[in-house]
Chains A and B, each alone.
Chain A
Amino acid sequence: MLWLLSRALGAAAVLFGLGAMSVWLTHNVETYYYLVLIQCGIAATLAVSLNLINGITGQFSIGHAGFYAVGAYVGAAWTMLWRPIFAKELPWLEIGSLPGDVANLIIALALGSLAAAITGLIVGTPSLRLRGDYLAILTLGFGEVIRVTLLNIDAVGGARGLAGIPTLASTGDLAAFWVFGLLIAVSLLTRNLMQSTRGLTWLAVREDEVASDAMGVDTTRVKVTAFVVGSTFAGASGVLYAHFFTGISQDIFGMDVSIMITTMVVLAGTGSVTGAIIAGFALTAMPEALRFLKDFKEYRMVVFSLALIIMMLTRPQGILGHAEVGFGSFVRLYQRLRLGVRRSAR
C-alpha cells in the first residue's frame, strides 16, 4: 500500500502546483493570451485522446468532434437545465460559491464524459467490422449525424447554439487548472499504457490485426476500449470548453474541427503523445498569431491543407513518427546533425 500513498502524495503535489499556476496565470497574464492558452490545452487534450484511437490502435476515426460536442452539450445541459431541478432539494448544488461551483463542475464532467463514452461505444462497436477508408467515412458519418441531431434539440438552443452557460469555478482562477489537469491525465494514461506490455498489444492491433488476434490479443476489446477512452476525454474537454467559453455553437463541432484534430495527430506523428501535444499547441496558437490577416480563417485552412498534403507526400508518418520528444531526442538530434544525415539509422 506504500505505493498508493506515494502516488496520492504525488498527485496532490501536482494538483496543488497546477492550482497555484492557474491562479498565478490568471492574475499575471493578459486575458487574451490566457484564453489562447486554454484553447491550446483543450486542443492538445483532443489530439492526445484521438491519438489513442488513430495513432495507437490504428483505427482511422475522423469524427472526433462529435464526442467533443456530446460532452459539451451534456455538461451544459446539466448546469443549465438539470442542476436547478436538483438544487432545490440539495442546496449545496447552488453555484456562486467555490465548493458549489467545483461540485457542479465535477458532476458536469462526470455526466459529459459518460455521455461521450457511451457515444464512443456506439460508434466504436460497429466500426469493428470495417477497415481503412470505410471506417473513416463511417466515423465521419457518425460525426455529422451527431452534429445534426444536437442542432435539432431545441432544449439546448437548437441551431442558434447555447449561450449564457453560467461560468463556474472554471473561469476566473481555475480554468487552467482543470484544462491542464485533464491534459496531464490523458497524457499520463497514454504514457503508462504505452510503457506496459498491454500497450504493446494495442500497437500490435495497429500493426497487424490478424496476427495479433492469432497471438491471443482480444482485438475487439482493444479497439472498443480505445474508442471509449478517447471519446471520454474528448467529452470531458467539451464540458470544460462549454463552461469556460460560456457558449457553444455550430463552430466547435463541425467536420472541419474533426479534420483539424486529425491533422494535428497526423502531422505530429501518429502514435506520439508529445507530438500530439505540440501539434495541439502549435496549430491553435499559430492562427491566433495570424489573426491580423483579413480572411484569416480561409488562409489558415489553405495553409493547413497544403501542409497536410505536403506532409502526406513527403513524410506520411508525421514529423515525429512513432517517437516521443524527450531529453534524449534533443541529444540524438544534435548527434545526427553533427555526423551528417548519411549516418541516420533508417
Chain B
Amino acid sequence: MQSFLQQAVFGIQLGSLYALIAIGYTLVYGVLRLINFAHGDVFMVGAFVCYYACTRWLPFRDLSADPAGATTNIALAVVVLIITMAVCALLGVLIERFAYRPLRNGLRIADAHFWGLVAALPVAVRLGPFSHPGVLLAWLVIGVAFGYALRPVVAWIARRSVRATSRLNALITAIGVSFVLEYGGLLVVGADPNFVPTIVPERVYVLPGGVRVGTPQLAILAISLVLMLVLRYIVTYTRRGKAMRAIAHDIEAAKLMGIDTDRVISFTFALGGALAGAGGALVAALTHVKITPLFGLLPGIKAFVAAVLGGPGSIPGAVLGGLLMGLAEAFVAGSKASAFRDAIAFCILIVLLLVRPSGLLGRHVAEKV
C-alpha cells in the first residue's frame, strides 16, 4: 500500500507537468485544429532557459555554503520562472507567426527573413560557440543575407496560384519545426546532459504510512494549480479568452464578429508556450533531471496523448488527462513492466483513438455529407 501511495505521489507530480503541457496542445488544437508537434520542444527550451538562468545568468547563492541565502534564492527562482515563461511565450508566438500563419494567410516577405535567420544557424554554429559575441554577429549578418536571398523566392511563390493546403501540411510543418528546435538545439548547446543543482531549500516530509513527499513536489503541484487557475480565469472571463473560445467554435464567424483572429491566435500560442515553459522550468529546477535538447520529445508526446485523452479543445480535459497519464506512467514504472513505461502512453493513445476519439470530455463532430 505504501509503495502504491508513493507511486501515486510521483504520478501526481508527473501528471501536473503533463497537464501544463497538455493545456498548450489543447488550446492550439481548439483554435486551429492543429497538433502543435513542436510544443514539447517549447517545454525543452523552457528547461534550458531555466538552466542557464540558474547557473549562469542570475546570482544564486550556494546554499550549502550560505544557508541564509535561501530567501534570495527563492526570490530569484520566481524571477527565473517569469523569465522562462516570457521566453517560451515569445517562442510560441514566433512559431505560430512564421511556421503556421503562412499556411493560413500566405507567405510574406518577413517570413523569408525569419527563415533566413534560422537557416543561418547551422552555418554560424560552425564558427564557434554562441556565447562569443563575434559568432552572434556573424549569425545575424549571414541570416540577413539569407533572408534577402530568400525574398525573391517568396515573392515569386506569393504571386502564383493558390496552394491548397490541408491540415496534414500543417502537421508536417509542425514536425519540421520540432526537428529544427531539437537538432538546432543539439548544434548550439551540444548533446551533453546538463542539470540544475539545488537552488531552493528542499525538505522531505514523511507522512503517516511511510510515504515521502518533498517540497519540490508540493511546489510543482502548487505552482501548476495556480497557473491552471489563472489560465481558466483568462479563458473564461476575459475578452481575449472569450475570443479564443469563439474562434474554436467557428473561425469565420469570429472574424465576421470583428475579432482579430490573428492576434488572438498569437495570444493562444503565447499562453500555451508560457505554460509549457513553466513546466520546463519546474522540471529543471525542482526535479533536477538531466536535460538535453531531445528530452522534450517524449514528454511532449505523452502530454499530447493526455490532451487527446481529455478531449481536444477541453482544458479541464487536458488537466484530467495529464493527471491520468502521470499516474499511469508512475504505476507502470513502479511495476514489473517498467520497460514499457514510455510505451504505455502510446498504448493508451491507440486504445483511445479507436474507442473514443472525442476523448473523455470532448465533443464528437461528425462530417456532414
Proximity bits, A182-214, B CB within 8 Å = 1, else 0: 000000000000000000000000000010000
Task: Decide: B168 and A145 in contact? CB cutoff 8 A.
Answer: no
Give the one of B107, B164, B353 with max A CB within 10 A: B353
User: How many angstroms from the CA of A133 to the CA of B169 in the assembled complex?
Assistant: 10
A148 contacts B168, C-beta separation under 8 Å? no
- A306 adjacent to B119 (CB under 8 Å): yes
With most chain B CB atoms within 10 A of its CB, the pick from A301, A309, A315 is A309
Decide if the interface of chain A is mainly helix, strand, loop or mixed.
Answer: helix
Assess whether A148 is in contact with B342, with CB atoms less than 8 Å apart: yes
> Residue on A with the closest CB to B348?
A141
Question: Is the CB–CB distance between A144 and B157 below 8 Å?
Answer: no
Q: Which residue of B180, B183, B339 contacts A309 across the interface (Cβ within 8 Å)?
A: B180
Counting contact residues on chain A (CB < 8 A from B), the size range is: 35 or more
Q: Is the CB–CB distance between A313 and B187 below 8 Å?
A: no
Q: Which residues of A are found within 8 Å of B64, using beta-carbon distances?
A: none
Q: Does any Cβ of B come within 8 Å of A335's Cβ? A: no
Given A145-B347, A346-B161 in contact, is the A305-B353 Cβ separation under 8 Å?
Answer: no
Judged by a CB distance under 8 angstroms, whether A333 is at the interface is no
Judging by beta carbons under 8 Å apart, are B340 and A148 in contact?
yes
User: A303 contacts the other chain (Cβ, under 8 Å)?
Assistant: yes
A107 within 8 A of B: no
Task: Given A137-B353, A210-B367, A303-B122, answer yes or no on A266-B339 (Cβ-Cβ < 8 Å).
Answer: no
Q: Which of B53-61, B129-137, B171-179 lines the interface with chain A?
A: B171-179
* Residues of chain B lying within 8 A (CB to CB) of residue A144: 342-343, 346
- Confirm or deny: A316 has a beta carbon within 8 angstroms of a beta carbon on chain B: yes
The residue on B at minimum CB distance from A152 is B339
Q: At the interface, yes or no: A60 with Cβ under 8 Å from chain B?
A: yes
Q: Give the complex CA separation of A304 and B339 in angstroms.
A: 32
> Is A148 a contact of B343 with CB atoms below 8 Å?
yes
Task: Please report the C-alpha to C-alpha distance between residue A303 and residue B146 in the assembled complex, in whole angstroms.
Answer: 14
- Would B173 and A313 count as touching, CB distance under 8 A? yes
Q: Is B118 an interface residue (CB 8 A)?
A: yes
Measured in the bound complex, the distance between the Cα atoms of B167 and A308 in whole Å is 15
Whether A129 contacts B172 in the complex (CB less than 8 A), given A144-B346, A152-B339, comes out as: no
| Minimum distance in angstroms from A44 CB to a CB of chain B | 20
- In the complex, whether B5 has a CB less than 8 A from a CB of chain A is no
Q: Is A310 an interface residue (CB 8 A)?
A: yes
Query: How many A-B residue contacts, CB cutoff 8 Å?
Result: 137
Set B164, B182, B339, B354: member contacting A316, Cβ < 8 A: B164
In the assembled complex, B222 has its CB within 8 A of some CB on chain A: no
Q: A145-B346, A148-B340 are in contact. Are A132 and B179 (CB under 8 A)?
A: no
CB <8 Å contact, B183 and A302: yes
For B115, B157, B172, B184, the residue with the greatest tally of chain A CB atoms inside 10 Å of its CB is B172
Q: A142-B350, A148-B342 are in contact. Are A313 and B111 (CB under 8 A)?
A: yes
Q: Kindly list chain A residues whose C-beta atoms are within 8 Å of the C-beta of B343.
A: 144-145, 148-149
Q: Is the CB of A299 within 8 A of B111?
A: no
Report how far A127 CA is from B136 CA in the complex, Å.
47
* Bound form: Cα–Cα A132–B29 in Å: 13
Counting CB contacts under 8 A, is B102 at the interface?
yes
Assess whether B168 is in contact with A305, with CB atoms less than 8 Å apart.
no
Over the window 239-278 of chain B, the binary record of Cβ atoms lying under 8 Å from chain A Cβ atoms (1 yes, 0 no) is: 0000000000000000000000000000000000000000
Are the CB atoms of B183 and A316 closer together than 8 Å? no
| Contact status A314-B153, CB under 8 Å | yes
Contact partners of A60 in chain B: CB under 8 A:
168, 171
30 A-B pairs with C-beta separation under 8 A: A60-B168, A129-B357, A133-B35, A133-B168, A133-B171, A134-B353, A134-B357, A136-B35, A136-B168, A136-B171, A137-B308, A142-B346, A145-B343, A149-B343, A256-B179, A295-B187, A302-B179, A304-B179, A306-B176, A308-B176, A308-B179, A309-B115, A309-B173, A309-B177, A312-B172, A312-B176, A314-B107, A314-B154, A316-B164, A316-B169
- Contacts A137-B304, A142-B346 supplied; 14 other A-B pairs, CB < 8 Å: A62-B175, A133-B167, A136-B168, A138-B354, A142-B350, A210-B367, A301-B182, A302-B179, A309-B173, A309-B176, A312-B103, A312-B172, A315-B157, A316-B163
10 A-B pairs with least C-beta separation: A305-B179, A301-B183, A308-B176, A309-B176, A141-B346, A148-B343, A316-B169, A312-B173, A305-B176, A298-B186
